[in-house]
Chains A and B, each alone.
Chain A
């Protein structure tokens, strides 16, 4: 049955993403390569869509075009949704100030309001470094310049959604 097969293939691809990502990160860390952790994961997520759609195409081989389109959309949407949730979990472990704060408290039993890990200069430097590794900004003669407007657009979208939800901050 096509639905069951497409569902199983989609879940297998999502399950395969995690060990593949762990392996890539471990390998790059072992080789002491400077790389964007978020960029690597985003690249893997997008790249795996290609063989996934190839598998769906193979499964629908004898079906009609409408089946192929809906099966492809279903697989891509489900896989990307699951992979995006995984991306956020990984990103949270990397960038979330709340997580850094509670991990810092767990390690040294510091109080919430005096965790040293929270220094603003560190926080800005870490983000500038990540943005440069991602190729979104560049530093020229001491000045940071924008190289990619992707985050500007995402920020605008998020602000619009926040305003729809009535959240102001």
Chain B
């Protein structure tokens, strides 16, 4: 009985993931956030809505099965989209773990780990990405300041951390 939503939800997710790999290999979109939202959220949403419309006139799949498939699909899609930013840049925690793993069995000192990090490289790549995603913008005198999207996102995370009684994350 639950095989249908399990099959539909995971099959649609696999198909979208395959399309994502194909598109990224052919021509990686400039604004990845928008491209991912269209591919993983909007396009499948339209597909599912059309599916519900078609199925309301047919009896092949029960509407509740399709609703359950939609929930499963979006659970998987949200998990993937949240993981995606990690593919775009070097994750410092993983780099640290890699450096320590390479130094085993003796281990490595703090200075040894720090040698592998370059401040300009880390900050430069993030500043570039912030600009590309429209979170920061350049003023007339060349300064980089938060844009509307950046301010909204910052306010969201400030409120989010307050809910747990926590201060700003250590980054």
Contacts and interface: CB of A to CB of B under 8 A. Distances in A.
A4 B113 CA distance: 52
Interface string A148-169: 0101101100100110111101
Interface residues of A, number: 85
B143 to A, nearest CB: 5
B135 A158 contact: no
Contacts of B166: 25, 29, 37
Interface stretch (B42-50, B52-60, B150-158): B150-158
Nearest to B123: A118
Interface string A1-30: 111101100110000000000100110011
A146 B64 contact: no
A124 B75 contact: no
A106 to B, nearest CB: 4
A94 B161 CA distance: 9
A103 B145 contact: no
Given A29-B166, A85-B78, A118-B122, A143 B108 contact: yes
B41 interface: no
Contacts of B164: 22, 25-26, 29
B152 to A, nearest CB: 10
Interface in B139-171: 143-146, 150-151, 153-155, 157-158, 160-161, 163-166, 168-171
Given A106-B154, A111-B145, A144 B107 contact: yes
Contacts of A137: 97, 100
Interface in A113-157: 113, 117-124, 126-128, 130-131, 136-137, 140, 142-146, 149, 151-152, 154-155
A121 B117 CA distance: 9
Contacts of A162: 87
Contact of B169 (A4, A94, A155, A164): A94
A46 interface: no
Nearest to A19: B163
Contacts of A149: 101
B169 to A, nearest CB: 4
Interface of B: 1-3, 5-6, 9-10, 20-21, 24-25, 28, 62, 64-65, 67-68, 71-72, 75-76, 78-79, 81-83, 85-94, 96-98, 100-101, 104-110, 113-114, 117-119, 122-123, 125-127, 129-131, 135-136, 143-146, 150-151, 153-155, 157-158, 160-161, 163-166, 168-171
19 contacts: A3-B1, A10-B71, A70-B6, A80-B75, A82-B79, A92-B82, A94-B169, A94-B170, A97-B92, A98-B130, A100-B169, A106-B154, A109-B145, A136-B97, A152-B97, A152-B101, A154-B94, A155-B98, A166-B28
The 10 closest A-B CB pairs, nearest first, are A81-B75, A100-B171, A143-B107, A88-B82, A106-B154, A126-B170, A145-B107, A85-B78, A112-B144, A94-B169
